[in-house]
Structure 1
């Protein structure tokens, strides 16, 4: 699904230039759950921004479903993000005086879908993250874990192929963190959503199928992992399915969808 070849990223120029990525090669397959780890300044956040088309590499090749992303203009990259990517951040980034339902609908509003379509999809996404009955609550009426569930519902409401999660449990206690990680794992397992997650916590990375480590702007290691919910000592729960119909990459990039 995703191929990075010799990706570099340099910030600044001349004596002040800083090379955040130094020739990264990375393949992401459909259905992967990859934990991206590394110390501060290792390049993990830069590579996540590159993968999510939030930043452009200085050099190298980025292919998404065979399409060279570096050749797309700003509007085409924006359409690619809207159609194929969902984003979850450490900060929940919910609109304060807006209900869970309305927060979840936002990506579909930007895509121009009808009110009926938005509401139906948002209800389905909220149900998928275990928030049936909470649709009309504002963020102030929700716990931190529930707010992050709304953020995940908002990320999956458009049926993305890839979910990018940047420290998704960073603002949560250990119990809520485990619940969110179980949810991400189930979305990956049940719906086949490819999950790319930046984390500095090994307990959270334990849910991934692969763990990649960055150091000094380079890919230091890439190891398979048996996800925690599949280990004999772990018993997990199940969430509902939230399936959608696929859309061709070429039309999504070229059209104003």
Structure 2
């Protein structure tokens, strides 16, 4: 448990889902994607969300990210009821508190890394100098100092995902939602991206919610929840996140871990 999580015990959680359902369609064609989900997310959590295709994990992620409204139930963010908000109010909440990373990098092909990262700030109407400074800071945070003026075609897949992550954190979000962030990457680049997500969580305190179907990637998270048939099937702490295990091994006296 992180220091942020310890401080929050007994307090209002960052996010709380109460008996959330989601139904698509009507009548005989209706499909219930979520069937009464209760989930609590504390500030500073790093949660891997897993489950087979059709389990409801993507619907849960869309709900958590305020991209979709539940059919019934309550969604509280910092104690405020999100399910009652209008579409525009949810959009404002997303812009202020959430960052998104997807399996596809979704970068504009003929614009530079710096310009891609600036986009959320452009939509906010921030002045040019402030946008440039914030975008450079975000690119530095993901290890891309010196690559600001390269276009996506001049970057590797791992670098493109780093640009996408920089774009997600340039607004200094409270929550980073990552949907299969390593799905298009090889194992080495996947590990690099997971280490980056860990650092953003551990060093900047960003709450990370990540959908993945890969156990190796989920092993980086502090907590793993699993959906099955629209229900939360399990929710448990990860006793040995990959990065903590590596740090412990590096700190151990020579030969002690053998």
TM-score, scaled to structure 1:
0.90
Q: Matched residues in 2 for 1:124 and 1:66: separation? A: 31
Matches within 5 A, 1:19-58: 19-58=32-71
Select which of 110, 120, 131 maps to 1:107: 120
- What do you get for the CA RMSD once the two structures are aligned? 1.1
Residue in 2 aligned with 1:194?
A: 207
CA contact (8 A) 1:229 1:235 kept: no
Q: Matched residues in 2 for 1:233 and 1:102: separation? A: 35
Matched, 1:209 2:222: yes
Matched, 1:185 2:195: no
CA contact (8 A) 1:4 1:25 kept: yes
Q: Matched residues in 2 for 1:223 and 1:205: separation? A: 12
Between Structure 1 and Structure 2, whose CA radius of gyration is higher? 2
Q: Matched residues in 1 for 2:193 and 2:139: separation? A: 14
- How many corresponding residue pairs? 236
Deviates more, 1:224-233 or 1:187-196: 224-233
Deviation string 1:143-189 (CA, Å, 9 cap, x unpaired) is 00000000000000000000000000000000000000000000000
Matched, 1:230 2:244: yes
Q: Matched residues in 2 for 1:100 and 1:211: separation? A: 32
Q: Matched residues in 1 for 2:93 and 2:246: separation? A: 39
Q: Matched residues in 1 for 2:246 and 2:122: separation? A: 43
CA contact (8 A) 1:212 1:222 kept: yes
Deviation string 1:33-92 (CA, Å, 9 cap, x unpaired) is 000000000000000000000000000000000110011111110000000000000000
Q: Matched residues in 2 for 1:51 and 1:66: separation? A: 14
| DSSP 3-state at the match of 1:71 | coil
| DSSP 3-state at the match of 1:70 | coil
TM-score, scaled to structure 2:
0.90
| DSSP 3-state at the match of 1:133 | coil
| DSSP 3-state at the match of 2:83 | helix
Matches within 5 A, 1:5-16: 5-16=18-29
List runs of 5+ in structure 2 lacking aligned partners.
1-13, 251-258
Q: Matched residues in 2 for 1:20 and 1:211: separation? A: 20
Q: Matched residues in 2 for 1:133 and 1:233: separation? A: 28
TM-superposed CA distance for 1:233, in Å, is 7.4
